[in-house]
């Protein structure tokens, strides 16, 4: 609707200042000609908006002009009160600010929309954390936030998965991303995009040097590259066929859900149910040891051999401990 588009233009200009017409057109998915017609409509309605042409030109509101936005629709009002789990705001130190902001938004809402917004906040909750994700180490994001907002370089002491000692990196941060309850620092290292889990940062220090981001590259751009690298990483994993005792099938499906390639072959009668899984590496099949004799690997032979090696290693460890106490 044109009225919604005019309000969106007004909000963008209030928050961004001067914005090129082509950028407004891209954001609102219309032509540049339509944007200029909308600007004429805003001007005719009394909004002090003007356009400057040229390389550094753009569309801008007259300095000092502000307007209270009360034109929210019922659905927009409800959408504002569907919030993710409070953990994200707590990690950023914004719990109190969030509550204060919502109270202000509620006060500014058109009176007919307030009851629906209040009910929505009590009836809908978005929890971004995964089931059985295990306890996450408490993350101190203060220094990382400072680097992001102050545009400073960072010196990190970072421990990679599977390594005991941290490594030292100097990085140029773009921002922070919360993915399924886990915080990540998105940054460049030597001009290449890198992803750092915040709970593996052992220490972080702001440097006096200004950040050196690539020209024209934003957080969303870098995150998209890194996300694709993770999700589209070539698989050199292993397909495993197992059989599971029926009485443990429900638990098995909950725990092994990310690795299951298809629903188990369950005829509803047999004592054993066949399932197929995909692991990123052979060593990862050791997860199945958690089920003891309730799960048996049928194929491939190298997966069975890996479990035998792991079981022997565990047995040798405890036998050695027992001999120490004899």
Taking each helix axis as running N to C, give the angle between helix 21-28 and helix 2-16, from 0 to 180 degrees, rounded to the nearest 10.
130
Q: What is the pLDDT of residues 310-326, one digit of tens each?
A: 999 988 888 876 666 65
pLDDT in tens, 87-130: 566 666 666 667 767 776 776 666 777 787 777 777 666 666 66
> Which among 149, 159, 136 is positioned nearest to 93, based on CA atoms?
149
**Looking at residue 200, what is its pLDDT?**
87
pLDDT (0 to 100) of residue 162? 60
Range with the poorest average pLDDT among 9-23, 25-39, 145-159: 9-23
Q: How far apart are CA 22 and CA 207, in angstroms?
A: 37
CATH architecture of 2-61: Orthogonal Bundle (1.10)
The CATH number of the domain covering residues in 238-321: 3.30.70
Top pLDDT among 14 and 128 is at 14
178-208 confidence digits (pLDDT tens): 887 788 999 998 888 999 988 889 989 999 9
Q: What strands lie across the sheet with 201-210, from one edge to the other?
A: 192-197, 182-189, 167-179, 152-158, 201-210
Instruction: Tell me the mean pLDDT in the region 137-147.
Output: 77
* Spans of all domains in the chain: 2-61, 74-122, 141-231, 238-321
Asked if the 141-231 domain carries CATH number 2.30.30, the reply is yes
Residue 16: pLDDT above 80?
no
Q: What is the pLDDT of residues 67-81, one digit of tens each?
A: 655 566 777 777 777
Q: What is the mean pLDDT of residues 216-238?
A: 80
Which distant-in-sequence residues (6+ apart) come within 8 Å of 144 by Cβ? 154, 173, 176, 185, 198, 201, 204
What pLDDT score was predicted for residue 86?
Answer: 55
List, for residues 241-281, the tens digit of each pLDDT value. Answer: 999 999 998 889 888 888 888 878 777 778 899 999 988 88
Q: What does DSSP say about strands 272-279 and 192-197: parallel, antiparallel, or unpaired?
A: unpaired
Q: How confident is the model at residue 286 (pLDDT cuts 50, 70, 90)?
A: very high
- In this prediction, residue 72 carries a pLDDT of 67
């Amino acid at each position: 609707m044109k009225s919604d588009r005019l309000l969106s233009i007004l909000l963008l200009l209030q928050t961004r200042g001067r914005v090129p017409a082509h950028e407004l057109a891209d954001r609102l998915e219309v032509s540049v000609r339509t944007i200029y017609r909308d600007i004429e409509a805003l001007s005719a309605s009394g909004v002090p908006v003007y356009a400057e042409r040229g390389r550094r030109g753009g569309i801008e509101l007259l300095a000092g002009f502000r307007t209270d936005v009360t034109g929210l629709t019922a659905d927009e009002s409800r959408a504002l009160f569907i919030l993710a789990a409070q953990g994200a705001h707590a990690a950023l130190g914004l719990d109190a600010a969030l509550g204060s902001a919502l109270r202000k938004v509620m006060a500014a809402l058109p009176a007919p929309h307030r009851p629906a917004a209040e009910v929505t906040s009590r009836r809908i909750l978005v929890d971004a954390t995964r089931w059985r994700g295990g306890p996450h180490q408490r993350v101190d994001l203060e220094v990382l936030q400072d680097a992001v907002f102050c545009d400073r370089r960072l010196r990190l002491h970072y421990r990679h998965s599977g390594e005991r000692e941290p490594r030292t990196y100097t990085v140029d941060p773009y921002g922070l991303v919360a993915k399924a309850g886990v915080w990540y620092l998105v940054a460049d290292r030597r001009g290449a995009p890198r992803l750092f889990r915040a709970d593996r940062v052992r220490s972080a220090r702001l440097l006096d040097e200004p950040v050196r981001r690539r020209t024209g590259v934003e957080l969303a751009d870098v995150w998209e590259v890194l996300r694709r690298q993770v999700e589209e990483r070539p698989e050199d994993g292993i397909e495993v066929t197992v059989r599971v005792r029926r009485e443990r099938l429900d638990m098995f499906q909950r725990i092994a859900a990310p690795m299951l390639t298809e629903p188990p072959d369950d005829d509803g009668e047999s004592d054993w149910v066949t399932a197929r899984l995909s692991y990123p590496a052979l060593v990862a099949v050791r997860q199945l040891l958690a089920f003891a004799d309730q799960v048996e690997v049928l194929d491939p032979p190298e997966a069975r051999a890996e479990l035998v090696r792991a079981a022997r290693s565990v047995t040798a460890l405890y036998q050695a401990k027992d001999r120490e106490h004899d």
